[in-house]
């Protein structure tokens, strides 16, 4: 079997377009996962059972079912209830909600890692609960989980090929489209693999820096 360098090289511009779309979906989905994950974590610490229990159920449910099924659900079911979203937004929401269930666990471990004495000191000063969260607990909980949160950005990016099933034109769907014309899958997939690698390493870079800094601070 020969590797056709010309085909491989010619496919790069279109693959890059697919990569850009994958990165876009990752960025949107990740912001959603960060915000929603924190909301889930806080809801699960709420004193209000009506808030805590449904959220706990929802998080368990989403975490225990495949992302692919959730993407299908959003793609086919939302329009039937009148919610028409672009494939990109559907994909970003699917990724974001799915990963929010992971990030909420990360936030939770960060929150649990804040010593009980901090809560007790806040109580001893009669600080309002809200203020205790925003100025005392979260500022201590979040920095230590930044590396763990960052790792989910890499995982999420690696899940973007699943968006091909809901017609997002990310890189894998570009491979399929080109391959169905020239059948040179070896070249296409090799190039796509290389681009995934480079992009994943670029995302991992700041995460590793954060990890190292955190380790140094706690040395």
> For another protein, which residue of 5, 47, 50, 64 counts as binding (CB under 8 A)?
47
Minimum CB separation from another protein for residue 181, in Å? 57
User: Which span sits near another protein by CB under 8 A: 91-99, 118-126, 145-153, 163-171?
Assistant: 118-126
Does residue 78 touch another protein according to CB under 8 A? no
Question: In this structure, what DSSP letter does residue 45 have?
Answer: T
Structure tokens belonging to residue 102: 């992971």
Question: In this structure, what DSSP letter does residue 80 have?
Answer: G
User: Which span sits near another protein by CB under 8 A: 33-41, 80-88, 122-130, 168-176?
Assistant: 122-130
Distances 89 to 22, 27, 80, 108 between C-alpha atoms, Å: 12, 11, 16, 27
Crossing angle, helix 49-63 and helix 87-112, to 10 degrees?
120
Cβ closest to another protein, residue 135 vs residue 213: 135
Structure tokens belonging to residue 124: 């001893």
86 Cβ contact list (under 8 Å, min separation 6): none
User: Which span sits near another protein by CB under 8 A: 38-46, 115-123, 162-170, 190-198?
Assistant: 115-123
Does residue 123 touch another protein according to CB under 8 A? yes
Distance CA 174, CA 164 (A): 9
Question: In this structure, what DSSP letter does residue 67 have?
Answer: H
Minimum CB separation from another protein for residue 135, in Å? 7
Applying the rule CB under 8 A, the residues between 134 and 193 that interact with another protein are 135-136, 139-140
Question: In this structure, what DSSP letter does residue 82 have?
Answer: T
Cβ closest to another protein, residue 176 vs residue 215: 215
Residues near another protein (CB under 8 A): 47, 115, 117-118, 120-121, 123-129, 131, 135-136, 139-140
């Amino acid at each position: 079997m020969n590797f056709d360098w010309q085909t491989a090289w010619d496919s790069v511009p279109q693959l890059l377009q697919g990569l850009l779309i994958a990165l876009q979906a990752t960025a949107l989905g990740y912001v959603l996962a960060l915000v929603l994950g924190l909301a889930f974590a806080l809801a699960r610490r709420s004193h209000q059972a009506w808030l805590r229990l449904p959220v706990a159920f929802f998080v368990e449910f989403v975490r225990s079912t495949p992302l692919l099924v959730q993407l299908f659900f959003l793609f086919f079911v939302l329009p039937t209830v009148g919610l028409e979203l672009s494939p990109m937004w559907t994909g970003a929401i699917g990724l974001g909600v799915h990963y929010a269930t992971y990030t909420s666990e990360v936030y939770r471990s960060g929150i649990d890692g804040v010593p009980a004495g901090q809560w007790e000191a806040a109580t001893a000063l009669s600080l309002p609960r809200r203020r205790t969260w925003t100025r005392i607990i979260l500022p201590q909980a979040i920095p230590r989980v930044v590396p763990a949160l960052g790792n989910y950005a890499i995982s999420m990016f690696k899940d973007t090929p699943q968006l091909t099933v809901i017609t997002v034109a990310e890189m894998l769907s570009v491979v399929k489209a080109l391959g169905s014309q020239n059948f040179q899958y070896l070249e296409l997939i090799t190039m796509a693999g290389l681009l995934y690698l480079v992009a994943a390493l670029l995302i991992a870079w700041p995460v590793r820096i954060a990890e190292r800094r955190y380790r140094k601070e706690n040395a």
